[in-house]
Structure formats: structure tokens, C-alpha cells
Amino acid sequence: MKPFASTLRLHAAVLAAVVFFDQITKQWARARFTGQGGQPDYDAHIAVLGDWLHLRLVYNYGASFGMRPQEILPFLHPVAFFALITLAAIVLLLLYYRKLEPRDKAGRLAIVLVLSGAIGNNLIDRPIFHKVTDFIDVGMPGVHPRFPVFNVADAAVTTGILLLFLAPLFLRKKNPAAPAREETSDAV
């Protein structure tokens, strides 16, 4: 088996696993925390790590951190807006994935994580529910406001973006064609 083919299969498996785990956890959150009339029960939550980590249901009709970029094009339905942006991002990310050197494993994995998050939020949640299900609530005890509530897809995108920026720091560029230069001293 060629190394590229096995890497591609591994990355496809990672993408599928992240999307699956994202959707399963969102389904659980909707089933566990939905109140009367299909709205989130804002009083219901599970404290996982005291005040550091709670699980509670919040619906996001915009983008990350409550931003609403879909209002840039008000004539376009928000679902269509996010689908078009996501499809364009997928094309660009796939082109970048192909451009990366095979030894840039961290960069390629980062792209897979960003893709999986984009698919989970913008190509599954938005067309089906017209909103994104968020349920992971992180914060520091006594500090307000808390971090915006997020989900597994958001965590994958954030991890992927961080990895994209950090990967070049760990990828040593070796140029075997260029011999190492010796320092010479002109002092007599």
C-alpha cells in the first residue's frame, strides 16, 4: 500500500470519526436539555468539573462567538450563506491539503480537523436544524463572562487552526542540495 493512500484513508477515518462524534453528542444534548416547545431548558445543566466545565444546551443561529456574518448578504438565506462559504472553504482547504508536502503530517491533520468541523456545523446542522447545537460550557470559577458555549465541531476547527499555525514551527526544513556553510574568520 502506498504511503499517501494509507494517509488519505487515515485522514478520511479521522474526518468521519469527528463528524460522527460531533453529531452523536449534539443529538444527546438536544435530547437531554430540550424543554417545553423545543427550546433549550436554560436552567438544566450538568456540572462535569465543578464550575470549570458544564454541559448545557444553547442554539447558535450565527457563527462563532455569536457573530452574524450572514447579515452581510441579507437577500441570501442564512443556511445558503453558510453552505456556500463552507463549500468554498472546503475547496480551498482541499487544494491546500494537496499542496502540502507529505512529510507535513501536522498540517494535513489540521486541515482534516477544520474540514470535519465545517461539515458538522455548516453542512449537517444548519441545513437540517437551521441552527447549530452547542453544549460545552467552559469557564473559570467566579470569572464572568464565561467562554462562549461550543461543540465538538467547534473544538475540531479550533484545534485544526492552532495546529496549522503551530505545524511550521515543528517542521524542520532540510535542503540536502545546499551544503552547510562554514564560518570563516578574516582576522589576521
- Hunting for cell 427550546 — which residue is that? 39
Q: Maximum distance among all alpha carbons in the chain? A: 89
Is beta strand 53-60 parallel, antiparallel or unpaired with respect to 132-138?
antiparallel
Q: Which candidate in 22, 125, 137, 154 is catalytic?
A: 154
C-alpha cell at 100: 502540502
Task: Mark whether 22 is an active-site residue.
Answer: no
Using CA atoms, how far residue 175 sits from 101, 125, 132, 172, in Å, is: 14, 45, 46, 10
Put the strands of the sheet holding 132-138 in their side by side order: 46-49, 53-60, 132-138
Task: Mark whether 154 is an active-site residue.
Answer: yes
Nearest 5°: the CA angle 116, 31, 155 is 25
Nearest 5°: the CA angle 159, 114, 69 is 105
Q: Which candidate in 22, 125, 134, 137 is catalytic?
A: 134
Phi-psi region of 52 (alpha: psi -120 to 50; beta: other; left: phi over 0): alpha
* Helix spans in the chain (H): 3-33, 78-99, 105-118, 126-129, 152-170
Question: Active-site residue numbers?
Answer: 134, 154
